[in-house]
Amino acid sequence: MSRIVRVAAAQMGPVSRNDAKPKTVARMVALMREAHSLKADLVVFPELALTAFFTKWYIADEAELEATYFETEMPSEVTRPLFETAAELGIGFHLGYAEIAHEGGRKRRYNTAIVVDRTGRIVHKYRKVHLPGHEDYRPDYPIQDLEKMYFEVGDKGFRAFRHEGGVFGVIICNDRRWPESYRVLGLQGAEMILCGYNTCVHNPMAPEHDHLANFHNHLPMQAGAYQNGTWVVGVAKAGVEDDWAMVGQSAIISPTGEIVAMCATDGDEIAFCRCDLDLTRLSKTAVFDFARHRRPEHYSLITSTAGTVAPPDPEPVPANENRPLTKPEF
């Protein structure tokens, strides 16, 4: 059985804070129709696709924040055209959005992504685990990075799921910088990982690295693909959004870590690839045959601590290996 998934990485140009959501959704429907013209099976939209990347601003008014940028249901009235078009065309999609959920007796806000199948049904939901930036407003920064203020850490973990004849996973933006994100999915046999992102070129916490923003976008996605033998589809909201430049270069990355399709602009654009899920097999059965090669008994720090621990005291080296060979000896 063929396991080819035709993937459209649907990069989006900037979405201004002044853009009404229906206008943005109309752009997405147009991208979906273009993807369909390429006979795509799956359209991958960016993180927080429906609005401006609002976490770069401090918005003190909670009511304004939630009414402007968050969704309380999915599909909602404004997002319904995406679901309808998917069902009409028989095409699946990935959508990132800011979610308000009433769970566990209180209101929660998450940075969320869903996967919708060809019938318009939500088949997977993921909530971002690695929230970047800081939790406090920093007036001395020209832009903020306030995801830790606006969102809770995702509660669903990295769960792979069966989809389109293969095993899929979803991560979001900053998750892609962390090898653990790919590995937990890889350990469930992930063959394709979808990753929407919004990345300002300027990082107020490390501006010395701004010039490496594109490199730091691709490097960990390519490594994550290679080290887990999986396709990775990274999709940006790109361009200059309300005066701030964002990383583009949306890319489809093969299980070898090679970039096999990439957007050439920073606007609405599709990067397309016919992705054979069977291309994952060689990696998974040779260099990255986990069961044969991994050694979890030596990985315990990865799950036993979040932060850094001090290196151990010097190991006693056996006496016959421990003689100082100072000049006088020779």
Catalytic residues: 47, 128, 173
Q: Smallest distance from the beta carbon of 130 to a copy of itself, in angstroms? A: 6
Q: Which of 234, 230, 227, 231 is nearest to 174 (CA)?
A: 234
Supply the DSSP symbol for 313. Answer: P
Which one of 18, 77, 139, 308 is in contact with a copy of itself (CB under 8 A)?
308
Closest CB 146 distance from a copy of itself, rounded Å = 14
Q: Quick one: 191 or 269, whose CB is closer to a copy of itself?
A: 191
198 lies in the site for a copy of itself, by CB under 8 A: no
**CA angle in degrees (0–180, nearest 5) for 47-48-52:** 125
Minimal distance, residue 214 CB to a copy of itself, in Å = 12
* Complex with a copy of itself: residue 183 or 237, whichever CB lies closer: 183
Cβ–Cβ < 8 Å for 205, 134: yes
User: Where is 158: in which H helix or E strand?
Assistant: none
CB within 8 Å of 276: residues ≥ 6 apart: 3, 4
Q: Which residue of 28, 42, 44, 129 would you call a contact of a copy of itself, by CB under 8 A?
A: 129
**Residue 116, C-beta contacts closer than 8 angstroms, at least 6 positions apart:** 82, 83, 86, 92, 93, 94, 95, 122, 123
Could you tell me the smallest distance in angstroms from the CB atom of residue 166 to a copy of itself? 10
301 interacts with a copy of itself by CB under 8 A:
yes
Task: Please report whether residue 321 would count as binding a copy of itself according to CB under 8 A.
Answer: yes
Token pair, residue 239, equals 């361009």
Least CB distance to a copy of itself at residue 18 (A): 29
Alpha helix (H) ranges present in 151-305? 179-186, 213-228, 281-285, 290-293, 300-304
Among residues 147, 197, 189, the alpha carbon closest in space to that of 171 is found at 197
Site for a copy of itself in 58-117 (CB under 8 A): 73-75, 83-84, 86-88
Which segment (8-16, 238-246, 264-272, 291-299) binds a copy of itself by CB under 8 A?
Answer: 291-299
Is residue 39 a contact point for a copy of itself (CB under 8 A)?
no
Which residues from 232-261 bind a copy of itself, rule CB under 8 A? 256-258
- Restricted to residues 152-171, the positions that interact with a copy of itself (CB under 8 A) are 153-154, 156-162, 167
> Residues 223, 242, 260, 272: which binds a copy of itself (CB under 8 A)?
223
Q: Is the dihedral of CA 187, 188, 189, 191 positive or negative?
A: negative
Pair 146, 55: CB distance under 8 Å:
yes
Identify residue 244 by its one-letter amino acid code.
Answer: W
Which of 33-41, 214-222, 235-243, 261-269 is the region at the interface with a copy of itself (rule: CB under 8 A)?
Answer: 214-222
Task: Give the pairing type, strands 92-103 and 106-116.
Answer: antiparallel
Q: How far apart are CA 86 and CA 8, in angstroms?
A: 13
Q: Does 127 bind a copy of itself (CB under 8 A)?
A: no
3-state class percentages of the chain: helix first, strand second, coil last, to nearest 5: 30, 25, 40
Q: Does 304 bind a copy of itself (CB under 8 A)?
A: yes
Closest to a copy of itself by CB, 13 vs 255, is 255
**Nearer Cβ to a copy of itself (67/205):** 205
Candidates 4, 132, 213, 245: give the one binding a copy of itself (CB under 8 A): 132
